[in-house]
Amino acid sequence: MSCSVDKDDELSDLIENNENHKDSVWFEQESSLSPGEWDKVVLVFGWIDDQIECERIKETYEEKYPQTNYRCNPVK
First vs last C-alpha separation in the chain: 27
Based on the number of CB atoms within 10 Å of its own CB, is 34 exposed (0-12), middle (13-18) or buried (19 or more)?
exposed
Instruction: Give the global pTM.
Output: 0.77
List the beta bridge partners of residue 74. 25
Mean pLDDT by 10 residues, the chain (76 residues): 51 66 89 93 94 98 98 93
Based on the number of CB atoms within 10 Å of its own CB, is 26 exposed (0-12), middle (13-18) or buried (19 or more)?
buried
Say if residues 29 and 39 touch (Cβ distance below 8 Å).
yes
- 3-state secondary structure (DSSP) of residue 65: coil
